[in-house]
């Protein structure tokens, strides 16, 4: 049945739904840019205090709930409260909390003191428990995140519905941006910040305060990851990270060998991978036969921590197995790519460690100045009150009399102001003093404070006016934090020259084999051990073997096609075959052109020797075999020989030797290849070696020793070109020539 045509008319559609043409750049600016900017500024990139908005909102909610010094509460309570500041789904908030939790082990210095299952950074499959089962509070180190936040050290803004206030930044007293790792993907940019040891960062910051050109490499040798491992120190990469914020750090797993169990135990892995990925990679390598010394691999992680057990076959060297696993790109060694992209004063910038320390100090100096201004104001207000109180001290009885004789309450303050010459604030303070405090001892104690307050205010004003003194305060705080929260490195450091590198060739098993090429372009790679049981070769009907070579597995093979192409492969990359199988079909294996055939192959350990190409017109080209040597792993070389005349035969020779050529009229010519000049150009047309009469062409070329004649010397010529000689009487019965 014919399909009914759709009668919908595009013109009718546009009438009903008018289409307005828009310039795509305007559309992107109007519709996409607000989204992109929101992701960059409000979601994906951390600011100089080291936190993204989601982190900051969660931590501030916990701080306001009093979870810094109280008992833990259910995570669900915190998640619910956080939604007043962070209008996203509860699961997103809980995931953020999990990554900051001690139990998850993502952060070098966890900010959330957790109880319950929060999953593990090193496990892909271990999921955290639901928020109703887990409990949290703020870690002790969070005191440094919120220190003096109530002294107007940072700005506060309205939350999304204007019902609450939240800080734009946290007044962190140490560079948290460098101490805890942070990753994020924005629109058109991303960030990937590794963690550094807290004590090292504090010392480096103090050194920078003393000298902005200080060598930070003396203090920070490598990142320090929460998952441990061993960082491979490469000076150039580390300097790039410290100065530019970009670079790559290689991290290796830590392992030990249990002699009793006969297995390797990996107990610390790189920060960027998981134990499941490592196990899967090892299993794949064992199945592929690339490593044969492993009998089992399993996850033995328990309450004691991570453990991957690799069981070895008897007599295996564990050091050798680990080095092989490293070289085979198993993620027991992985790389952390640094990209220190942060928001500084509302702009995304990529900064090195030095730049981040500089920007953090600028931010921290501002916080300390605001704190000093707040304290100066508070102490000045108190001093002002005490000065009013000191005037009352001169005549307490007069003050009591004024209050007693004042008929109306609202006149007490004005009368005190008039009686002692004090202002309204001072008068209110005096009026609010309890009767029991109107004793000489109390009043003297209060007024004696004024001298101390005056000294403190002068000292703070002096500090406020001197950035050097402010930096000294910051330096003192950093030293206290280092002493209080500093810990030993979790990630060890090893020099790059100490890394054992195993060449890929060392993994290749070498053994003897037979290489077979058939006329129909089938190829067999058969181990000689397999030929003992079944030596008979199976071929496609009508096919025949044209070349057969005994060789070995750890080598290369060069294949010449009839379309001026040469194909190269590693023999060990070619699949093995059985004598009872037809072998690999080369056009499929090599991705050859339609109708193309392989006519000759050369297995080679090196590229010494020469290639001879015999063409239908009787010309022979001799070129160095090293013309086909390439530095990269190119699999196809085009224009490998001349295409002016069809190729009849190709031949590889180590040195000059006698070759035999046979024309279609059965004339035979034997010459030494020394007569043929060596050309360095692959597509040279060669020189005329055998000349023919009209409509006669070359039939074959091979080594003289392979000619089916009684005595090859009977056909030798000392000069070329030559038309050759007719078959001698003893060779007249030979109708065709075959290869031995």
329: exposed, middle or buried (Cβ count in 10 Å: 0-12, 13-18, 19+): exposed
Name the token pair of 215: 């060598």
What is the rounded distance in angstroms from the CA atom of residue 398 to the CA atom of residue 533? Answer: 126
Please state, as a whole number, how many other Cβ atoms lie within 10 Å of the Cβ of residue 580: 10
User: 269 near 306, Cβ under 8 Å?
Assistant: yes
Q: Which of 133, 585, 600, 715 is catalytic?
A: 133
What is the rounded distance in angstroms from the CA atom of residue 389 to the CA atom of residue 427? Answer: 9
What is the rounded distance in angstroms from the CA atom of residue 142 to the CA atom of residue 132? Answer: 24
**Residue among 195, 250, 206, 186 at smallest CA distance from 53:** 186
Is 522 one of the annotated active-site residues of the chain?
no
User: 393 near 444, Cβ under 8 Å?
Assistant: yes
**Residue among 492, 270, 229 at smallest CA distance from 281:** 270
Q: What are the residues facing 560 on neighbouring strands?
A: 566, 600
CB-based contacts of 293: which residues, under 8 Å, 6+ apart?
312, 313, 316, 320, 321, 324
> Where do the DSSP E strands lie in 219-321?
230-233, 246-252, 254-258, 263-268, 294-299, 308-312
> Where do the DSSP E strands lie in 498-640?
512-518, 522-527, 545-552, 556-561, 566-570, 584-585, 598-604, 610-615, 619-624, 636-637
User: 546 near 521, Cβ under 8 Å?
Assistant: no
φ, ψ of residue 137 in degrees (nearest 5): -155, 175
DSSP H or E run through 75: helix 75-82
Name the token pair of 404: 């007693």
User: 173 near 198, Cβ under 8 Å?
Assistant: no
Q: Give catalytic residue positions.
A: 133
């Amino acid at each position: 049945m014919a399909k009914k045509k759709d009668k919908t008319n595009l013109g009718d559609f546009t009438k009903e739904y008018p289409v307005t043409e828009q310039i795509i750049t305007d559309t992107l600016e109007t519709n996409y840019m607000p989204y992109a900017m929101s992701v960059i500024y409000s979601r994906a990139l951390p600011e100089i205090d080291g936190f993204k908005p989601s982190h900051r909102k969660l931590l501030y909610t916990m701080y306001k709930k009093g979870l810094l010094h109280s008992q833990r509460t259910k995570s669900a309570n915190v998640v619910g409260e956080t939604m007043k500041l962070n209008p996203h789904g509860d699961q997103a908030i809980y995931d953020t909390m999990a990554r900051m939790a001690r139990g998850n082990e993502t952060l070098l210095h966890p900010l959330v003191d957790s109880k319950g299952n929060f999953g593990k950074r090193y496990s892909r499959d271990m999921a955290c428990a639901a928020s109703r089962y887990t409990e949290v509070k703020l870690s002790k180190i969070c005191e440094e995140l919120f220190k003096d936040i109530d002294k107007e050290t940072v700005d506060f803004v309205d939350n999304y519905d204007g019902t609450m206030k939240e800080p734009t930044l946290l007044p962190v007293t140490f560079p948290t941006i460098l101490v805890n790792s942070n990753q994020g993907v924005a629109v058109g940019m991303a960030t990937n910040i590794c963690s550094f040891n807290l004590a090292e960062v504090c010392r480096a910051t103090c050194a920078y305060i003393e000298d902005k050109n200080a060598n930070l490499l003396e203090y920070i040798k490598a990142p320090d990851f929460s998952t441990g491992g061993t960082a491979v120190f490469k000076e150039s990469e580390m300097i790039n990270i410290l100065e530019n914020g970009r670079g790559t750090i290689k991290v290796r797993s830590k392992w030990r060998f249990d002699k009793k169990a006969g297995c390797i135990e990996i107990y610390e892995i790189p920060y960027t991978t998981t134990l499941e990925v490592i196990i899967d990679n090892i299993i794949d390598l064992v199945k592929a036969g690339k490593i044969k010394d492993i009998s089992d691999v399993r996850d033995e992680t328990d309450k004691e921590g991570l453990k991957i057990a690799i069981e070895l076959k008897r007599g295996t060297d564990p050091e050798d197995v680990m080095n092989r696993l490293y070289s085979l790109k198993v993620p027991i060694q992985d790389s952390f790519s640094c990209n220190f992209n942060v928001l500084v004063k509302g702009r995304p910038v990529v900064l090195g460690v030095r730049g981040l320390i500089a920007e953090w100090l600028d931010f921290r100096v501002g916080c300390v100045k605001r704190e000093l201004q707040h304290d100066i104001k508070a102490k000045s207000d108190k001093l002002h009150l005490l000065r009013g109180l000191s005037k009352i001290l001169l005549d307490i009885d007069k003050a009591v009399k004024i209050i007693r004789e004042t008929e109306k309450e609202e006149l007490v303050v004005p009368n005190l102001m008039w009686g002692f010459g004090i202002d309204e604030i001072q008068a209110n303070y005096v009026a609010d003093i309890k009767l029991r405090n109107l004793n000489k001892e109390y009043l003297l104690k209060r007024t004696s404070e004024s001298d101390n307050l005056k000294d403190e205010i002068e000292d703070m004003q002096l500090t406020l006016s001197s950035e050097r003194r402010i930096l000294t305060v910051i330096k003192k705080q950093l030293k206290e934090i280092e002493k209080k929260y500093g810990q030993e490195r979790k990630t060890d450091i090893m020099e790059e020259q100490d890394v054992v590198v195993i060449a890929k060739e060392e993994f290749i098993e070498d053994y003897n084999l037979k290489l077979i090429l058939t006329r129909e372009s089938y190829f067999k790679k058969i181990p000689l051990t397999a030929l003992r049981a079944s030596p008979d070769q199976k071929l496609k009907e009508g096919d025949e073997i044209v070349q057969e070579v005994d060789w070995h597995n750890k080598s290369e093979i060069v294949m010449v096609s009839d379309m001026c192409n040469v194909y190269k492969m590693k023999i060990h990359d070619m699949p093995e075959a059985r004598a009872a199988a037809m072998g690999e079909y080369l056009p499929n294996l090599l991705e050859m052109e339609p109708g193309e055939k392989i006519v000759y192959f050369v297995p080679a350990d090196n590229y010494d020797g020469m290639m001879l190409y015999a063409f239908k017109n009787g010309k022979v080209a001799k070129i160095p075999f090293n013309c086909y040597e390439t530095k990269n792993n190119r699999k196809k070389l085009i224009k490998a020989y001349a295409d002016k005349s069809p190729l009849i035969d190709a031949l590889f020779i180590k040195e000059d030797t006698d070759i035999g050529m046979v024309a279609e009229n059965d004339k035979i010519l034997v010459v030494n290849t020394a007569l043929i000049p060596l050309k360095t150009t692959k597509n040279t047309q060669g020189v005329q070696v055998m000349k023919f009469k009209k409509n006669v062409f070359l039939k074959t070329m091979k080594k003289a020793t392979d000619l089916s004649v009684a005595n090859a010397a009977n056909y030798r010529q000392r000069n070329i070109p030559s038309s050759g000689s007719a078959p001698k009487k003893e060779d007249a019965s030979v109708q065709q020539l075959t290869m031995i």
